[in-house]
Amino acid sequence: MIEESIRASGRFQVEIKYDYKLERDRKHTTYTIETYAFVPNSLDVSRETYPKYLFYRDTQTYIRFKIPIVMLSDIASVDSSTFDVLEKSLKDLTKQKTGASVQDCENQIRLFCCIVKYSIKDYIAQVEMAETPADAEHLIEYYHTNIVKILHRFRKLDKIVGQPSMDGRVRSIYALADEYSSIFIAQYTFDILEKSRKHGDDNTCGYRGALLGLIREEERYRTEKSYPSVAIAGSNNEEFIYRRGVLKRMMESILFLNTRVRPEGRVTEQVIYTMAAGVAMVFATAVAFLTQQKYGNFTMAFFVALVVSYMFKDRIKELIRMYINKKVQGRYFDQKIHIYGGSGGSRLGFSRESFQFISEAALQPEIHSLRNRDPLTRINNEQLGEKVILYRKTLKIFSRNFEQVYHSVPVDGLTDIWRVNMARFVRKMDNPKKPLFILDGDGYRKAKASKVYHINLVIKYVTSHGEQYKRFRIVLNRSGIKRIEKIDNI
């Protein structure tokens, strides 16, 4: 099945992450996602104001591996497979240096950072769900104990990396990974402190000191190592943010796959143009023959008929092209994204995308039902109406190719990150604040109320296991996205 998470990324950008499982018992797996966006007519978003090329200009797509989440205690254990693979790769490189062994070492170092990072992120969610201070303290004690062990063991690898026979590039990658792991562990430790504050400051004393001590120790360590990545109070910390971003992209680059976008339907488009031109030419030729037969050659009537038939020929060609395009556009996609991976650029799959405005009459009954308008919205839409945008994506994964290309990487699935910038949707919105009078004791006072707009999403998933539907509401105003709500199906 497909799992999704949706959030606002910045003021105007919506980010949806889709997680796809690799079904290893199948030669290939196909997933289809249909996203229906219901946009109020008052926003003036239509075929004329928001054509396809603007939509694709406002979107970004990234595809990366989804690695399995490992328990922190398993990473920190003496017989940790995560450390064993990394340590073996480093030792093998000191014995025999080849291009493949250097690349494998780099990949294993990057992969180690990713495994630790995403395992911590998953664990933070457990800390956030702790119901009592005692539960939170137990979870955080577990976190602190295992993180200290992981850092200590990773830094002991410096004895292998520091050997004279070690490749210089691998030595540099290891130092950068050491810096990056220190940064994100301190960052996530701050997150844990924030998440645990719901239990009250008095109840956090048991572990607050230990977590702050861990952060201070990591800052001291980066200073000692001359890593220029320590945030300073009173500074804009520009270099820190920039360096953290570069390190993140560098370490997580192993997870991202290469993609090449190609337009689709060019042959079909040319066939449609040819058919339209042929029909128009039949009309023009027929008019010419009939006029010539009735009035003869080199007459004024024949000349006028040729000019008129030529004028109508162009219009007929354009009308036929538009008619056929409208009939077939729902069956074809706009572009095809080929997915490649590995050093040899092996083809691992592809996705196809299309964007179009559709009428409400063309909606499936299930989508109509899930839109589930309340009486006020229903009556309002009868007066003003909504535009319906359909974005379709079909992803085909060659599961067995992943086994061949990434046999040393624990691939659990794929994550498809789709971002769409909604700045064009807010241009014609009203002021985000409206004056309002409210009662205040025995009198009244003037207040300000928020003016918001709703863009409703209905997402349909189609997999080998069947169909599934999800509903979301994007609440935004002219200043940007206020929140995104998940709505339970009724």
Same structural domain, 184 and 235? yes
Average pLDDT estimate for 273-291: 74
Report d(CA 243, CA 245) in Å as an integer. 5
pLDDT-based confidence at residue 172 (cuts at 50, 70, 90): very high
pLDDT (0 to 100) of residue 292: 73
pLDDT (0 to 100) of residue 331: 64
* Among 175-189, 254-268, 270-284, 360-374, the range of highest mean pLDDT: 175-189
Q: Is residue 436 part of a domain?
A: yes
Same structural domain, 191 and 271? no
Same structural domain, 379 and 406? yes
> What percentage of residues in the chain have a pLDDT greater than 70?
88
Q: Is residue 62 part of a domain?
A: no
Q: Are 261 and 68 in contact (CB under 8 A)?
A: no
Q: Which of 218, 238, 256 is the last residue of a domain?
A: 256
pLDDT tens for 315-373 read 777 777 776 666 665 567 888 888 887 665 678 888 999 999 988 888 888 888 887 66
Same structural domain, 290 and 414? no
Q: Is residue 438 part of a domain?
A: yes
pLDDT (0 to 100) of residue 223: 92
Same structural domain, 247 and 300? no
- CA distances (Å), origin 47, targets 349, 359, 474: 31, 12, 21
pLDDT (0 to 100) of residue 459: 93
Q: Is residue 251 part of a domain?
A: yes
Same structural domain, 13 and 106? no
Same structural domain, 241 and 340? no
pLDDT (0 to 100) of residue 205: 56
Please state, rounded to an integer, the average pLDDT across all residues of the chain: 84
Q: Which residue has the higher pLDDT, 461 or 372?
A: 461
pLDDT-based confidence at residue 128 (cuts at 50, 70, 90): confident
pLDDT (0 to 100) of residue 379: 63
**320: containing domain:** 265-328
| Number of domains the chain contains | 3
Q: Is residue 67 part of a domain?
A: no
Q: Which residue has the higher pLDDT, 7 or 204?
A: 7
Same structural domain, 158 and 274? no
pLDDT (0 to 100) of residue 224: 92
User: What Rg, from alpha-carbon coordinates, does the chain have?
Assistant: 30
pLDDT-based confidence at residue 291 (cuts at 50, 70, 90): confident
Same structural domain, 43 and 106? no
Q: Is residue 283 part of a domain?
A: yes
pLDDT (0 to 100) of residue 344: 59
Q: Is residue 8 part of a domain?
A: yes
Average pLDDT estimate for 363-386: 71
Average pLDDT estimate for 293-315: 73
Q: Which residue has the higher pLDDT, 103 or 54?
A: 54
Checking if the pLDDT of 382 tops 60, the result is no
pLDDT-based confidence at residue 135 (cuts at 50, 70, 90): confident
Same structural domain, 220 and 337? no
pLDDT tens for 230-256 read 888 888 888 899 999 999 999 988 888
Average pLDDT estimate for 106-113: 90
Same structural domain, 245 and 378? no
pLDDT tens for 269-281 read 667 667 777 777 7
Q: Are 52 and 329 in contact (CB under 8 A)?
A: no
pLDDT (0 to 100) of residue 263: 76
Same structural domain, 422 and 306? no
Q: Which of 223, 256, 289 is the last residue of a domain?
A: 256
Report d(CA 189, CA 452) in Å as an integer. 36
**Token pair recorded at residue 451:** 């003016």
Q: Is residue 66 part of a domain?
A: no
Nearest partner of 478 among 429, 438, 445, 441, judged by Cα:
429
pLDDT-based confidence at residue 299 (cuts at 50, 70, 90): confident
Average pLDDT estimate for 426-432: 89
Q: Which of 256, 277, 293 is the last residue of a domain?
A: 256
Place of tokens 């030669």: 27
pLDDT (0 to 100) of residue 279: 74
Query: In b/e form, how buried is each residue of 23-49, taking b as 16+ CB within 10 angstroms?
Result: eeeeeebebbbbbbbbbbeebbbeeee
Average pLDDT estimate for 216-242: 90
DSSP string, 439-483: EETTEEEEEEEE--EEEEEEEEEEETTEEEEEEEEEEEETTEEEE
